Amino acid sequence: MTKELEALFWELKMDFLNAIILLLNYIFVPALSYGSQLALGAIFVSLIYGILRFAYFTAGDLMSFGTMFTILFTWYFQSLGIGLGFLPTALIAIPFGIIVTIFYVLLKDKLVFSYYRTKKSPPVMLAMVSIGTMFVTQAIVRIIIGPFDRRFFDGEKFIIRANEFKEMTGLNEGLAIKSTQVITLFVTIIVVSILFWFLNKTKTGKSMRAYSDNEDLALLSGIDPKKVVMTTWVIAAILATIGGALYGLDKSFKPFTYFNNMLPIFAAAIVGGIGNPFGAFLGGYVIAFSEILLTYAYKKFFVYLLPENLEPEGLLQLLSTDYKFAVSFSILVVVLLFRPSGIFKGKVL
Amino acid sequence: MRNNLDVIAAYSIMLGLIILVGFLQSWSIALSILCLCLISAVMTIGANIQWGYAGLINFGIMGYTALGGLAAVLVSAPPVEEAWRAGGLNILLCAFIIFSMIFIIRLIIKKFSKLKNRNYIIAAIIIVGIILLRLISAPAIESIEAVNPATTGFLGGMGLPIIFSWIVGAFFAGGLAYVIGKIALGLRADYLAIATLLISEIVIAVIKHEDWLSRGVKNVIGLKRPVPYEIDLQGKEWFINLVQKFHQGSLNLISDNLEKQQALKQLVIESSTVFVKLCFAGLFTAVVIALLIVTQKALYSPWGRMMRAIRDNEEAANAMGKNVVKQHLLIFVLGSAIVGIAGAMLVTYDGLFTPGSYRPMRYTFLIWVMVIVGGSGNNFGAILGGFAVWFLWIEAAPIALFLINFFTSGLDETNALKVHLIDSIPYFRFLMMGIGLLLIMRYRPKGILPEKIKRV
């Protein structure tokens, strides 16, 4: 009797573990890495909104610009035979990509944005101008590298393969963790901690926050607006390149997808409370998790959890995966309706 | 007259350019550029009403265009009776459920505004409604999509002449704009821009993936035209006679009778496409002129003055007793409806509906470039912008080719850089648009034909 009971418990436990692993494998791990990539983008959009005070429509294309140069440098290093062994070569190319991107945004600021800033044009005007730069950036990227799908990942692809995991644990469900996902998470944690340390502890960071809170007061207290603006652009370029390169490593690089990513990034920035970098950081995860949670088919999950006679018939999918983008936008609309300043209280717009 | 000299000059240059294309490339290309210029002009009129008259940013133009296109399908495609029998009843039931849900929620919001857990009740209604909808619609959608999936697999339309869809499209787009306006119009300008951009993506997602309604990415082809088909024209006696009369001079030069017949046949084929496009251009011109007259009248009416007052100083207008919220909603709906007309016209012209082709670059941002380059607040400017930018968008490739050849003339034909540049010619149009927009915004921020306000 006890043995039978034990066997039953064992089976129940295994079923439960299987269900958990299933969720980890298909929801948690992918959402965490996608969310990190969105978060990096959302932070810089939010920063630009807070400090330069306009919606930066070039966001997605700036990411693709940075990624493009990272790819070009990766190819160059590969042709030289430089690599990182099991890590992707792109990691050493990212700093070079960042330098080019910083140069590009500063040039753009000098040629285009500074004129409107000194003239104190309304934010709408600046948003329109950023559409102009969006066209230009898009053209540059397509002319240099073309509109096609490119993969530039090399090195070890998986940290744990699904089969290995199954053998290790004896479970039915495998857990595959790609190295790019781990890299994404690590890099994001490092970059974001440095960024928040910079914003909260250093003098330049504090002056940036002061400038964002109240421009006139900040100017009165002797903060150099040029320095603040320049730092913002530099941070934007760094985050855009890193976020874009990580996304490209994880999936693949295609200029059109990057342009489209602008939309969930904006959604993340607004959901988190625009102008509030920490909110944007969390907003990235909110968007990523809700996109994946709402479009995942839960049938298998419930097959494990429920007794056999209660097994569900349909796919138990709340929305088909085609509506992935629509989910994040609907969240945005709901947030706009009920909390216009975002979940984490950004600026009231 | 003297006040309008710049308008006349700008338009004559534009028409001259199109005629030049006719002489240099072909009349068929020139006319298709003209047709799309006219459609773009309708779109810019719509966007200009919102941005130029009222200062509302609407980045959802793509969504309204697609809805107009959908209207064209729903009006003109022949109905698929088998599909209606398979699942029509359930779909109608779903529509009824949606309407009753909206009605009940409205009732609760209006009548029971003091109810304590009102929001929970509304949420419960929505959740129950969605579950009900899914249960009812899922089998119906499956059986509709199973009906002859290679050619139909959707409910089809009403089988009416496609020209009606221009009005239906306007209503569709206006209806959507009403809903969006209710949600989003309270937001500050650039926030509204982002919200509308995202909502238009949702619209596209729905049109792309609800196959029972629009065939989704499988596209609807072979929509009926409001103008004659080339094939029919080529067999018509009067048309051949017309072509003969038109080309009398050049035909008389050919002495051989057989050769003459051959040449005439060739000419008839060529002129039939030109004739069809001329018909389209005529229809579109009529729409543009009608809209232009109406919008010009509106602009200089008391209503137009009120809109400008609201645009320039919302608070002052409010203090004068103008209902700013209501007027914003009105103009948002009107502008979007005009864009919806353009969407239906576009599908009419193409004869096919391809949801996959709706992309924000082409249908939202390009239209904005048109309005800003042309001159916001000035209808003639917006239309000119539509013409000029579309012309450049199409002719960018030949221009870029010429420039590349000019600047790399010292290089070898097989030079890697030259080959690469020539391969990427299609993307130079983005560069031209971007630089054009930036230059105009910097040096002529009010556009080519700036707004003129008559002071009385």
Look up residue A204 and give its two tokens. Answer: 């330049």
- Inter-chain CB pairs, A–B, below 8 Å: 124
User: DSSP per residue over B303-371, as a string?
Assistant: HHHHHHHHHH-HHHHHHTT--HHHHHHHHHHHHHHHHHHHHHHHHHHHS-B-GGG--HIIIIIHHHHHH
- Of A229 and A276, the structure prediction assigns the larger pLDDT to A229
A72 close contact with B: CB closer than 8 A: no
Q: Which helix (H) or strand (E) holds A178?
A: strand A177-178
Least confident range of A79-88, A147-156, B68-77, B184-193: B184-193
- The per-residue pLDDT for A26 is 86
Of B205, B209, B434, the CB nearest to A133: B434
The chain-wide mean pLDDT, for chain A, equals: 87
B360: distance to nearest CA of chain A, Å? Answer: 9
Residue A141 maps to a domain: yes
- The per-residue pLDDT for A347 is 53
Q: Taking 80 as the threshold, does the pLDDT of residue B166 lie above it? A: yes
Q: What is the mean pLDDT of residues B324-328?
A: 91
The single-letter code of the amino acid at A108 is K
For chain A, the straight-line distance linking the first and the last C-alpha, in angstroms and rounded, comes to 67
Of A55, A329, A333, the CB nearest to B190: A55
Are the beta carbons of B436 and B442 closer than 8 angstroms? no
> Which residues in chain B (363-402) have CB-CB distances under 8 A to chain A?
365, 368-369, 372
Are the beta carbons of A240 and A262 closer than 8 angstroms? no
- Under 8 Å CB-to-CB from A49, ≥6 apart: which residues? A55, A56, A269, A274, A275, A347
A316 close contact with B: CB closer than 8 A: no
SS (H, E, C) B114-131: CCCCHHHHHHHHHHHHHH
- Of B177 and A335, the structure prediction assigns the larger pLDDT to B177
The CA dihedral of B200, B204, B205, B208, to the nearest 10 degrees, is: 180
A266 close contact with B: CB closer than 8 A: yes
Look up residue A266 and give its two tokens. Answer: 């904006």
Report the residue of B59, B190, B358, B401 to disrupt the A interface, i.e. the one with the largest count of A CBs within 10 Å: B190
Tens-digit pLDDT profile for residues B389-406: 999 998 888 888 888 888
Cβ contact, residue pair A136, B431, below 8 Å: yes
Model confidence at B55, pLDDT cuts 50, 70, 90, reads: confident
Q: Taking 80 as the threshold, does the pLDDT of residue A318 lie above it? A: no
- Of A311 and B75, the structure prediction assigns the larger pLDDT to B75
- Chain A positions touching B424 (Cβ under 8 A) are 142-143, 146
Q: For the beta carbon of residue A235, count every other beta carbon within 10 angstroms.
A: 24
A134 close contact with B: CB closer than 8 A: yes
Of A139, A270, A328, the CB nearest to B430: A139
- The per-residue pLDDT for A254 is 92
Residue A146 maps to a domain: yes
- The tally of domains found in chain A comes to 1
Least confident range of A67-76, A337-346, B127-136, B266-275: A337-346
Least confident range of B66-80, B251-265, B306-320: B251-265
B131 close contact with A: CB closer than 8 A: no
- Chain A positions touching B428 (Cβ under 8 A) are 139, 143
A339 close contact with B: CB closer than 8 A: no
> Which of A227, A199, A257 has its CA nearest to residue A37?
A257
Q: What is the mean pLDDT of residues A108-129?
A: 90
- Chain A positions touching B427 (Cβ under 8 A) are 138-139, 142-143, 147
B190: distance to nearest CA of chain A, Å? Answer: 6
Model confidence at B342, pLDDT cuts 50, 70, 90, reads: very high
Q: What is the mean pLDDT of residues A278-307?
A: 85
Beta bridge partners of A160: A177
- The per-residue pLDDT for B184 is 80
**Range(s) of the domain holding residue A330:** 2-338
> Which residues in chain A (33-52) have CB-CB distances under 8 A to chain B?
none
A299 close contact with B: CB closer than 8 A: no
Cβ contact, residue pair B209, A263, below 8 Å: no
CATH fold of B2-79+156-443 reads ABC transporter involved in vitamin B12 uptake, BtuC (1.10.3470)
Q: What is the mean pLDDT of residues B18-43?
A: 91
The chain-wide mean pLDDT, for chain B, equals: 87
User: DSSP per residue over A44-86, as a string?
Assistant: HHHHHHHHT-S--TTHHHHHHHHHHHHHHHHHHHHHHT--BTT
Of B57, B187, B202, the CB nearest to A124: B57
Q: Taking 60 as the threshold, does the pLDDT of residue A326 lie above it? A: yes
Tens-digit pLDDT profile for residues B362-391: 899 999 999 999 888 888 999 999 999 999
% pLDDT > 90, chain A: 42
Inter-axis angle of helices A29-51 and A255-271, nearest 10: 70
- The per-residue pLDDT for A35 is 94
- Of A162 and A111, the structure prediction assigns the larger pLDDT to A111
% pLDDT > 70, chain B: 98
ipTM score = 0.87
Q: What is the mean pLDDT of residues A152-162?
A: 82
Q: Taking 90 as the threshold, does the pLDDT of residue B90 lie above it? A: no
Q: Taking 50 as the threshold, does the pLDDT of residue A32 lie above it? A: yes
Q: Find the CATH number of the domain harbouring A204.
A: 1.10.3470
- The per-residue pLDDT for A348 is 42
Residue A346 maps to a domain: no
Model confidence at A1, pLDDT cuts 50, 70, 90, reads: low
pTM: 0.89
Cβ contact, residue pair B193, A55, below 8 Å: yes
- Chain B positions touching A133 (Cβ under 8 A) are 434, 438
Report the residue of A143, A258, A260, A320 to disrupt the B interface, i.e. the one with the largest count of B CBs within 10 Å: A143
- The per-residue pLDDT for A314 is 67
Model confidence at B157, pLDDT cuts 50, 70, 90, reads: confident
Residue with tokens 């607040």: B377
A57: distance to nearest CA of chain B, Å? Answer: 9
Cβ contact, residue pair A259, B435, below 8 Å: no
Q: What is the mean pLDDT of residues A257-277?
A: 87
d(CA B42, CA B336): 11
Residue A61: alpha-carbon gap to chain centroid: 14
Residue A348 maps to a domain: no
Q: Taking 80 as the threshold, does the pLDDT of residue B267 lie above it? A: yes
Q: Domain residue spans in chain B?
A: 2-79+156-443, 80-155
% pLDDT > 70, chain A: 96
Cβ contact, residue pair B438, A147, below 8 Å: no
Q: Give the CA diameter of chain B.
A: 93
- The per-residue pLDDT for A349 is 38
Residue A300 maps to a domain: yes
SS3 B449: coil
Q: For the beta carbon of residue B354, count every other beta carbon within 10 angstroms.
A: 16
CA distances from A147 to A141, A256, B80 (A): 8, 7, 39
Are the beta carbons of A305 and A20 closer than 8 angstroms? no
Cβ contact, residue pair B372, A124, below 8 Å: no
- The per-residue pLDDT for A52 is 87
% pLDDT > 90, chain B: 32
A65 close contact with B: CB closer than 8 A: no
